[in-house]
A and B are shown apart, each in its own frame.
Chain A
Amino acid sequence: MSNSTDSWSRFDRRERLLRFFGLLAGLVILVAAWRAMEVNYGYAVTAPRELADLFGRMYPPNVGYSRKIVGPLLETINISILGTALAIVMAIPVAFLGASNTAPNKPAYLLGKFIISFTRSVNVIIWALIFVVIFGPGALAGVLAISIRSIGFTAKLIAEAIEEIDRGSVEAITAAGASPVDVLIYSIVPQIKPAFISVATLRWDINVRASTIIGFVGAGGIGVPLQTEINYFNWEAVLTILISILGLVLISEAISAYLRKKVM
C-alpha cells in the first residue's frame, strides 16, 4: 500500500477484519436461532385456510353475548384506573429519590434508580401471576400487578421532569426564607404539574391495554371471559370481546391524547 496523499480509507486493515468477523458472527447466530426454532413449514402452508376457517366461525359476532361482558369490561377499566392511581402514589416519592436535584443523598438516589429499574424489568403478566398466588385470583391481584409494573415508568418520567425544572424560582423562594418543603410545594410541584398529568394519563392508557390481558392468568378483567370463550371455542363470543377491547382502547387513547394536549 502506497503511503501517498491521494489514497484514503475509512478503516484500516485490522478494523476491516473485525467488522467482517462481526458481521459473520451475526449471520451465524441468526441461522442457528432459526434452525433451533424447528419451524413446521407445513403449518405455514395451511395458515391461510385456517385463517379463513377461523374467521368464518367468528363471524357474525355474538351480539347477545355483549350484555354479559359489560361487567368484565367495567372491571378492566376499574383495574386500570385503580392500578394507575396506586402506581402514582407510590411513584411520587420514588421520583423525588431518583431525581439528582431532589435526592437527599447518594444512597437514596441509587435506591430510587433501583426501584425504577426493578419494577420495569418484570412484565405485567409475571407480576399478575405472583399476586394471584399471594392474594388469589381476582381484580385485587390485577390492580397490584398493574400498579407495581407502572411505578418505574411513571417515576422515571416524573424524575426527568424534576431534573429539568428552572432553578431560578427555587432560588428566589429559598432566598425569601422558605423551607425546602415550601420550595417543593411552591416552586417544584407547579413546574412538574404538566409533565405529571401527561405521564399519568399516558400510563393509564397503557394500563387499559395491560388490564385486558392479565385476566389470562386470573387477575380479573375482560381477559377472564376471553380466555374462557377461547377454551370453549365460542368464536362468535370471542369476536364480540375483541371488538369491545378495540373500542375500549380507542376511547382510552382518545381521552389520554386529549388530556395530554390540554396540559401542554
Chain B
Amino acid sequence: MLTVDNLEKTYDSGDKALKGVSFEVSGNEIVAIIGPSGAGKSTLVRSINRLTEPTAGRVSLDDTEVTGLDKSALRDVRRDMGMIFQEFNLVERLTVMENILSGRLGYLSTWNAFRRNFPPEDIKRAREILSRVNLEGVENNRADELSGGQRQRVGIARAVIQRPKILLADEPTSALDPDTSREVMSLLTDIAHEDDIPIIINIHEVDLAVDYADRIIGLSDGEIVFNGPPDDLDQAARDKIYRGGESIADREGPSAGSSTDSDDVIAERGD
C-alpha cells in the first residue's frame, strides 16, 4: 500500500507545485491523476520515488517511509517501484533485451552490470515479459529502431521486470497516437490485474482516464480537488479540476454551441 501524506513541493524558483497532497493507493487499483498543465501531476508522481525531492510531507510504501531514507536505502525501495515515462527514456543505442534487463540493475553488482552478466532467472523472466508485451522477435533490435508504441512497451517491460509493488506512469500515452495510447492503457490495466499491483497513471486525456481507471484523482493548482470513481466525475467535478469551479455555461454564455459537454473539457486538457 502506498500512502502519500500531506506532500508539498516548492521549487527553488518559489513555485508551489504541491500544496499538501494526501491519498492512498492499494490492491490492484488503477488510479489516474488528471488535471490541467502546471497542476503538479508530474511533480506528484516523481515525488513518490523522489526523482523530484519533495520539500515536506511523507510518502510510505507498505511499512517503509520513502521520504527520509538515505541514498542507499532509497535505491532499495526504488527497486519496488517501477516507473514508465512519457518519452520512454530507453537507452536508444542498446538492444531491447538490454533495456528490459536494465530494470534489474538494482539487484546486480557493479562488476556484473559491467559485464552485462544477468542471472538466468532474470533472462528467463525477460523473455516471458517480451511475449507478454508482444515484442517477441525484436529483442536483439536496437531501441532506436522501434516505433513509439513498441518503445513504450519496452519501457513497460523494463518496469515490470523489477517485480515492483507499484507502478508509476508519468504521461505514458502523451507521445503516442490515440490507438496506440489505448493499447498501452489496456496493457497497463492487464498488468495491474495479473501481477496484482496498483498503478498510478498521470494522464491528461480525461476520456482515457475515465475508460481505464478505477479511481480518478483531480489535481488543480497543487491540490486534490476530486478523488473518486470515474462515474462520479460529473460536469461539476470537471469544472472544478479544469476551470477552478467556473462552469462552462458561465464562461461561454449564450454563444455556447451544442458541443459544450465533455469534449470541450478534453480540449482543455492543457497542452
Contact = CB atoms under 8 A, between A and B. Distances in A.
A178 B88 CA distance: 17
Given A176-B82, A177-B78, A168 B105 contact: no
Interface residues of B, number: 34
Contacts, number: 85
A176 B102 contact: yes
B81 A178 contact: no
Contact of A186 (B85, B102, B159): B102
Interface residues of A, number: 21
B116 to A, nearest CB: 9
Contacts of B108: 182
B35 interface: no
B62 interface: no
A173 B105 CA distance: 8
A185 B107 CA distance: 15
A66 interface: no
B132 interface: no
A36 interface: no
Interface in A185-225: 185-187, 190-191, 193-194
Contacts of A193: 93
Contacts of B249: none
Contacts of B172: none
A178 B106 contact: yes
Contacts of A166: 92
A117 interface: no
Nearest to B93: A190
23 contacts: A169-B92, A171-B85, A171-B89, A172-B83, A172-B155, A172-B158, A173-B91, A175-B51, A175-B81, A175-B83, A176-B83, A176-B102, A176-B158, A177-B77, A177-B106, A177-B107, A177-B162, A178-B105, A179-B75, A182-B106, A185-B110, A186-B102, A191-B92
Interface of B: 49, 51, 75-79, 81-83, 85, 87-94, 98, 102-108, 110, 113-114, 155, 158-159, 162
Given A171-B85, A179-B110, A185-B114, 5 more contacts: A172-B158, A176-B82, A179-B105, A186-B102, A186-B105
